[in-house]
Amino acid sequence: MRRSILQKVKQSRAFFFALVAVTIVWIVTAMAEEKNFRENYVLAYDNIDTAKYAILHCDSIIKIDISSNGFSAFNRRKERRKPIRFDLAKIVAQHKSDSVFSITLNTDSYLDTIKSQVDMRGVSEVRIVDEQLRLNIALRERKAFVPDISPVTFSFDKMGGLNGEPRIVPDSVFLYGSHTSLSKVEAIYADTQTISNIKSSGKYRITLNDDWKKYPDLRISNEEINIYIPMERFVEKSVTLPIELVDKSDDAQWNLYPANVTVQLLIPESKIGTVDLSKCVVTASTKECDGNHLTPELTTFPSSVRLKSITPESVQYIIIEK
């Protein structure tokens, strides 16, 4: 009985090793057989002056059928493929007088060029699937824009504020690209952003919106610009002023409670001794009454002065018929 079991174990081992051997032979035979494999390569185009020319469209992938045994194919898949590169210098030179032109590359004519850039180890045959490669190219034009900085807000330190208008430095940027794409861009805007804690006059860096990038052939001279921000420090001063009624009829008397308001003003520090506050006028329109309240407004004041507040914000009134 024991001998019978040992015999069966030996037979099972022999069968197992025989099966492994057959499998190895089958795998080796299968891997050694010649097979076709398709590989995709990224395309790169060299020696084209991208500052002068814009590539509006180009084929970016080339498909290649490669014949090799399984061992070579397995190793190839583990390798990172380098781009297939084409030199466009001579071809572009033939179109130097054209503003827009197309290039067609017949791949059969470039078979040697392609083979020289493909790993040919274990490869018996190379066949290019794509018969032609196409590019559309345009001579770049230039268009100037004064960036719109209205989306930018400013936050000043303590009692600081703008002294005039911000200036763009430099005063314009340029877009480069095809005439078709440039004609579709009407303006260049700054990104929505805030320049915070401004303590003094000077240049501050802001970014420009990149909406123009939806046209792939366009390039911009500056993606960021400087803004010169003139800053002025202000001094707070209050003045009590009577309310002048406007739009009132002559057949009624309006009595206001209170008749005077306190106006809090911000005066530039550099002009504190020269500003004439006697020219300030507060008015209230009888046509804009809310219930029995009127809203006083500072309607006349020196251009360099800023309004901070009016107290009270509304006044009551009584109308007495004459």
Predicted confidence (pLDDT) per residue in 222-242, tens digit: 999 999 999 888 889 999 999
**DSSP β-ladder status, 281-285 and 297-300:** antiparallel
Q: For residue 19, is pLDDT > 70? A: no
In-domain check, residue 154: yes
Q: For residue 273, is pLDDT > 80? A: yes
Q: Are residues 219 and 245 in the same domain?
A: no
Q: Which of 229, 261, 280 is the last residue of a domain?
A: 229
In-domain check, residue 293: yes
Sheet bearing 224-229, strands edge to edge: 167-169, 224-229, 202-207
Q: Are residues 268 and 221 in the same domain?
A: no
Q: Which of 107, 139, 171 is the last residue of a domain?
A: 139
Q: Are residues 297 and 219 in the same domain?
A: no
Instruction: For residue 2, give the DSSP letter.
Output: H
Q: For residue 322, is pLDDT > 80? A: no
Q: Are residues 286 and 312 in the same domain?
A: yes
In-domain check, residue 22: no
- Which residues, 6 or more positions from 171, have their beta carbon under 8 angstroms from its beta carbon? 146
In-domain check, residue 282: yes
Q: For residue 29, is pLDDT > 90? A: no
In-domain check, residue 26: no
Q: Are residues 67 and 145 in the same domain?
A: no
Q: Could you tell me the CA-to-CA distances from 313 to 180, 243, 297, 298 in Å, in that order?
A: 56, 12, 9, 11
Q: Could you tell me the CA-to-CA distances from 30 to 43, 65, 67, 126 in Å, in that order?
A: 33, 19, 14, 21
What are the tens digits of pLDDT across the range 46-57? Answer: 998 887 888 888
pTM recorded for the entire structure: 0.55
What are the tens digits of pLDDT across the range 74-129? Answer: 566 656 788 999 999 999 989 888 888 999 999 999 999 998 998 887 788 889 99
In-domain check, residue 241: yes
- Structural domain count, the chain: 3
**Residue range 59-72: average pLDDT?**
81
Q: Are residues 41 and 116 in the same domain?
A: yes
Mean pLDDT for the chain overall:
84
Q: Are residues 85 and 59 in the same domain?
A: yes
Q: Are residues 149 and 94 in the same domain?
A: no
Q: Are residues 185 and 205 in the same domain?
A: yes
Nearest to 233 by CA among 309, 291, 128, 157: 157
Q: Could you tell me the CA-to-CA distances from 271 to 163, 232, 275, 303 in Å, in that order?
A: 12, 10, 6, 11
Q: Are residues 178 and 248 in the same domain?
A: no
In-domain check, residue 186: yes
Q: What is the CATH number of the domain that holds 163?
A: 2.170.120.40
Q: Could you tell me the CA-to-CA distances from 73 to 69, 123, 278 in Å, in that order?
A: 6, 9, 92
In-domain check, residue 40: yes
Q: What is the domain extent for residue 180?
A: 141-229
Q: What is the CATH number of the domain that holds 268?
A: 2.170.120.30
Q: Which of 180, 212, 229 is the last residue of a domain?
A: 229
